[in-house]
Amino acid sequence: MSLPKFIVGMIFALAIVIAWSYLGGASFSTTLFRVIGCAIVIQLGYFLLVFIMVARNAPTPADKIRDAGRKLGSAEASDGEKFSARRSLR
């Protein structure tokens, strides 16, 4: 979900909480507390969703090349496994 869609959805959800509090006869402070609580829960849910999506992604080829480049000077990589960032024009 993109950020603009998230913000529009969050505004609608908070508007529903405000309408529910108003129709329920809640005081201003109770309504404010409910809106802040709802906003915090929505933000935490969005953060956790994005975090899980990033954590589940497999490494890209660029990540694999970067990791191989870090092993250049280490004893873990054999001579045949060493890669270079420089590319030949041939």
Q: What is the pLDDT of residues 36-56, one digit of tens each?
A: 999 999 999 989 988 998 888
Query: pTM value?
Result: 0.58
Q: What is the pLDDT of residues 76-86, one digit of tens each?
A: 555 555 555 55
Q: What is the pLDDT of residues 62-76, one digit of tens each?
A: 767 777 777 665 555
Report d(CA 82, CA 74) in Å as an integer: 10
Give the C-alpha distances (Å, rounded to integers) separating 60 from 10, 31, 46, 49, 57: 32, 46, 24, 20, 8
Expressed in angstroms, the distance from the first to the final Cα of the chain is 44
Q: Look up residue 58 and give its amino acid.
A: A
* Tokens coding 71: 């092993």
Give the C-alpha distances (Å, rounded to integers) separating 43 from 18, 35, 67, 83: 17, 12, 33, 42
Provide CB contacts within 8 A for 9, sequence distance 6+.
1
